[in-house]
């Protein structure tokens, strides 16, 4: 099918999803065929170690509308998505996870918004079937991102999103490695909205977002979308200096009044407090320096080893 005739591209990152692929194929095919528009599905294998590649090759043999990209190793979800975006040919480009926690059947809802003139449409998982900690973490990150960027969304992390291809083309030119698609879209001046979508409990496998990875993702988001953490270092410095003055005055007054207060304890507490603040500030600075170091190395975000014919 030629590039000029394609209306829809759906990009799906795949990492060890052998159990869900059969159902994914049936549901997404039924949904897209019902929409009645020419389409392609780009499945990006992100270094799977199970039988996902074999299943994808079988799908490709029976349905040429499915394109299979094999990355040279596991690069991560965002690089896998951008690998698919770089090859997408449809007027509208959708992204979807393979675990089926979001519904392929909700793609037409996003499609209608794109047809109405929006450049990006994000899914908003209203009734989420996640553990309480993940819900709390997600709520915090969504609010922080909205405050830091001036671009509030209810659900930045929903894996179901739709874009105009022109916007996707510009988004793939971003150089930073930690990518948050609604933020990127807004920075490019895209007209963005979100719609309510369904969310299911995970039926196949388990979530790969461990506690450590959730914190890592949150910290990546905080240091990617804004320089606010750097700016707060100055504020912390002022607060620390003020606290130091107050502690010093407290020690002097206590000594003059002969209160039973250990000045050594006060000094030790002050050292621990200020040392902790300085270490936190230094850690934030080091994070930014580390990002600069990674970007200046110019390592590829992804490497497409092969496209299955």
Evaluate whether 98 touches 20 at the Cβ level (below 8 Å): yes
Q: Give the integer Cα–Cα distance in Å for 107 and 200.
A: 15
The confidence score (pLDDT) of residue 141 equals 73
CA 113, distance to chain mean position in Å, is 22
Categorize the per-residue pLDDT at 245 as very low, low, confident or very high, splitting at 50, 70 and 90.
low
The confidence score (pLDDT) of residue 57 equals 97
pLDDT digits (tens, 9 = 90+) for 79-97: 899 899 999 999 999 999 9
100 pLDDT above the threshold of 70: yes
pLDDT digits (tens, 9 = 90+) for 145-165: 676 666 677 887 889 999 999
Choose between 111 and 260: higher pLDDT: 111
The pLDDT of 16-27, averaged and rounded, is 96
Q: How far is CA 274 from CA 32, 234, 260, in A?
A: 59, 14, 24
Say how many Å lie between the first and final Cα of the chain, rounded.
14
- HEC assignment per residue over the chain: CCHHHCCEEEEEEECCCCCCHHHHHHHHHHHHHHHCCCEEEEEEECCCCCCHHHHHHHHHHHCCCEEEEEECCCCCHHHHHHHHHHHCCCCEEEECCCCCCECHHHHHHHHHHHHCCCCEEEEEECCCCCCHHHHHHHHHHHHHHHHHHCCCCCCCCCCCEEEEHHHHHHHCCCCCCCCCHHHHHHHCCCCEEEEEECECCCCCCCCCCCHHHHHHHHHHHHHHHCCHHHHHHHHHHHHHHHHHHHHHHHHHHHHHCCCCCCHHHHHHHHHHHHHHHHHHHHHHHHHHHHHHHHHHCCCCCCCEEEEEC
Instruction: Using the structure block, give the residue that is written with the tokens 């993940």.
Output: 134
Domain positions in the chain are: 3-225, 228-296
Categorize the per-residue pLDDT at 226 as very low, low, confident or very high, splitting at 50, 70 and 90.
low
Categorize the per-residue pLDDT at 129 as very low, low, confident or very high, splitting at 50, 70 and 90.
confident
249 pLDDT above the threshold of 80: no
Evaluate whether 145 touches 156 at the Cβ level (below 8 Å): yes
Q: Give the integer Cα–Cα distance in Å for 294 and 287.
A: 11
The confidence score (pLDDT) of residue 281 equals 78
The pLDDT of 213-234, averaged and rounded, is 65
pLDDT digits (tens, 9 = 90+) for 139-148: 777 777 676 6
CATH number for the segment(s) 3-225: 3.90.550.10
CA 263, distance to chain mean position in Å, is 49
| Verdict on whether the full-model pTM lies above 0.85 | no
Instruction: Using the structure block, give the residue that is written with the tokens 């975006």.
Output: 85
The confidence score (pLDDT) of residue 89 equals 95
Q: What are phi and psi of 65, to 5 degrees?
A: -75, -15
pLDDT digits (tens, 9 = 90+) for 254-285: 767 766 656 676 676 677 677 767 777 777 78
CB neighbourhood size of 299 (10 A)? 9
Categorize the per-residue pLDDT at 133 as very low, low, confident or very high, splitting at 50, 70 and 90.
confident
Evaluate whether 21 touches 56 at the Cβ level (below 8 Å): yes
Q: What percent of the chain has pLDDT over 90?
A: 42
Evaluate whether 46 touches 298 at the Cβ level (below 8 Å): no
123 pLDDT above the threshold of 90: yes
Question: In the structure encoding, which two tokens stand for residue 67, read together?
Answer: 């394109």
What is the overall mean pLDDT for the chain?
81
């Amino acid at each position: 099918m030629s590039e000029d005739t394609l209306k829809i591209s759906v990009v799906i990152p795949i990492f060890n999803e052998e159990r869900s692929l059969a159902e994914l194929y049936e549901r997404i095919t039924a949904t897209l065929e019902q929409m009645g528009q020419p389409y392609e599905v780009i499945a990006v294998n992100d270094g799977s170690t199970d039988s996902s590649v074999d299943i994808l090759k079988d799908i490709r043999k029976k349905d040429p509308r499915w394109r299979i990209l094999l990355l040279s190793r596991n690069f991560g979800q965002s690089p896998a998505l951008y690998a698919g975006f770089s090859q997408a040919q449809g007027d509208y480009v959708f992204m979807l996870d393979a675990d089926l926690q979001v519904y392929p059947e909700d793609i037409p809802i996003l499609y209608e918004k794109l047809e109405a003139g929006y450049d990006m449409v994000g899914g908003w998982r209203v009734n989420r079937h996640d553990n309480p900690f993940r819900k709390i973490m997600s709520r915090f990150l969504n609010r922080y991102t909205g405050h830091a960027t001036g671009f509030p969304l209810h659900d930045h992390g929903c894996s179901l999103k739709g874009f105009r291809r022109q916007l996707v083309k510009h988004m793939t030119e971003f150089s930073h490695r930690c990518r948050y698609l609604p933020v990127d879209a807004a920075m490019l001046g895209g007209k963005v909205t979100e719609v309510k979508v369904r969310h299911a409990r995970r039926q196949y496998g388990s979530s790969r977002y461990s506690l450590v990875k959730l914190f890592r993702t949150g910290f990546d988001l905080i240091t990617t979308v804004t320089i606010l953490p750097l700016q707060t270092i100055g504020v912390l410095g002022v607060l620390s200096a003020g606290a130091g003055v107050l502690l010093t005055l407290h020690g002097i007054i206590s000594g003059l009044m002969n209160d039973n207060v250990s000045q050594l304890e006060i000094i030790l507490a002050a050292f621990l407090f200020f040392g902790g603040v300085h270490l936190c500030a230094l850690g934030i600075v080091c994070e930014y320096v580390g990002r600069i170091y990674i970007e200046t190395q110019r390592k590829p975000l992804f490497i497409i080893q092969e496209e299955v014919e």
